[in-house]
Copies of this chain bind each other. A is one copy, B any other.
Amino acid sequence: MLNFDFYNPTRIFFGKDRLDSIDKFVPADATVLITYGGGSAVKSGLIDKVKTVLGNRKVYEFGGIEPNPRYETLVKAVEIVRKENIDFLLAVGGGSVIDGTKFITLASSYQGDSRDLLKYGFTPITSEVVGNKVVPIGTVLTLPATGSEMNSGAVISYEHGKFPVMSPLTFPKFSILDPTITFTLPKIQVANGVIDTFVHTTEQYLTYPVDAKLQDRIAEGILQTLIEISETTIAEPENYDARANLVWSATVALNGIVGAGVPQDWAVHMIGHELTALFGIDHGQTLAIVLPALLEVRREQKRAKLLQYAERVWHIDSGSQDEKIDAAIQKTREFFESLGVKTRLSQYGVGADRIPVIVEQLKAHGLTALSETQDLTLDISQKILERAL
């Protein structure tokens, strides 16, 4: 097991009818900015319910945070935070709204050009950069997928790039996870959420073994849970327990417990981000495209864990090592396709001729040494993309 630090101070209020917790954990005299996305949270009446719970607090609203939240959008909210002396940010939405709100709080406290904050990558942004006092965040989750509701990371889009932004200052103070709020989601968003959760887990599990037995079991537990509930939660959106298992799995997959003391890859996400930035393919879909291809190309580096994955997650216990690995990768692809998500670049209209453009973007963003062993170079990314056609 590798040495690790673990810290996660976010309060979780999970279950039916938990909005009342807002009243308890947003200071009574706070001026609140509610952030949200494309308007479904308004139409469903959720924003009104949240405002009712906020009662007499002074409330502002900032809607229109898009999927893959854009820097240009978020800086408009920063102006409101500063002008209206906002002292609590309440994000009502999925990962994009929550990620965007994390950036809003950091940028509101930062004295310089807030595009600087996009340059830190996986290096945490500390109070030395943005000062000791950032506006606290609470969240009401509407889409189980990114885990942003219980971690300190965000991904922000700017020009043709997606930029990770990490800061211990952006852990939400609380997050409300009410599975019933997610019942009205379109099926495709639920499917993408399943895939996002699945791949968050494999990025922290399908690496090389370090004898971290419990972390492996937890990762396998999330993957098995997703396999068990995904068909039900997509076909029967109001099946409470199936959806509750998806919501909690999505949160736990990226709250630090799976990745504590183990190597982490994240190459699938990094390559996937370029596909979203260049071609507008949904985040979950990009992961479904890249993961099976990457596992095929990186089977030697990942052999031991791929065999464990085949046996424990897919219960494949006959055949040669390579037959087991082939079967596990095939099962993974079939699982994504069973959710209605295509797993080939060409099915999204991206042909072999575009691969050099993708590789060029990876190079432009410095993504030339990816993976748990930092040896996934551009030529290997190219091979992965060719396998993904």
User: What is the interface of chain A, defined by CB distance below 8 A to chain B?
Assistant: 1-16, 18, 210-218, 220-222, 224-225, 228-229, 240-241, 244-245, 248-249, 252, 257, 260-261
Contact = CB atoms under 8 A, between A and B. Distances in A.
5 contacts: A5-B12, A7-B9, A211-B245, A213-B225, A216-B221
A248 B241 CA distance: 29
A217 B214 contact: no
A175 to B, nearest CB: 10
Contacts of A217: 217-218, 220-222, 224-225
Contacts of A252: 214, 257
A248 B221 contact: no
A4 B21 CA distance: 12
A9 B255 CA distance: 13
A248 B256 CA distance: 14
A11 B5 contact: yes
A222 B215 CA distance: 9
Identify the interface centre among A218, A222, A260: most chain B CB within 10 Å of its CB.
Answer: A218
Given A3-B16, A3-B18, A15-B261, A228 B213 contact: yes
A212 B3 contact: no
A4 B15 CA distance: 7
A7 B8 CA distance: 8
A123 B249 CA distance: 29
Copies in the complex: 2
A11 B224 CA distance: 29
Given A1-B248, A6-B12, A214-B248, 13 more contacts: A1-B14, A1-B241, A3-B15, A4-B15, A9-B9, A15-B261, A210-B241, A213-B228, A213-B245, A214-B249, A216-B221, A217-B224, A218-B221
A266 to B, nearest CB: 21
Contacts of A14: 1, 3-6, 260-261
Nearest to A240: B1
A224 B216 CA distance: 11
A80 to B, nearest CB: 30
Contacts of A1: 14-15, 240-241, 244-245, 248
A5 B13 contact: yes
A27 to B, nearest CB: 15
Contacts of A8: 8-9
A228 B213 CA distance: 9
Contacts of A224: 213, 217
A248 B217 CA distance: 13
A207 to B, nearest CB: 16
A226 to B, nearest CB: 9
Identify the interface centre among A215, A248, A252: most chain B CB within 10 Å of its CB.
Answer: A248
A189 to B, nearest CB: 21
Contacts of A218: 217-218, 221
A147 to B, nearest CB: 13
Contacts of A245: 1, 211-214
A287 to B, nearest CB: 20
Contacts of A9: 7-9
A16 B216 CA distance: 21
Contacts of A257: 252, 257
Contact of A12 (B7, B221, B248): B7
Contact of A2 (B12, B15, B212, B228): B15
Contacts of A4: 12, 14-15
Nearest to A17: B3
Given A4-B14, A9-B9, A257-B257, A225 B221 contact: no
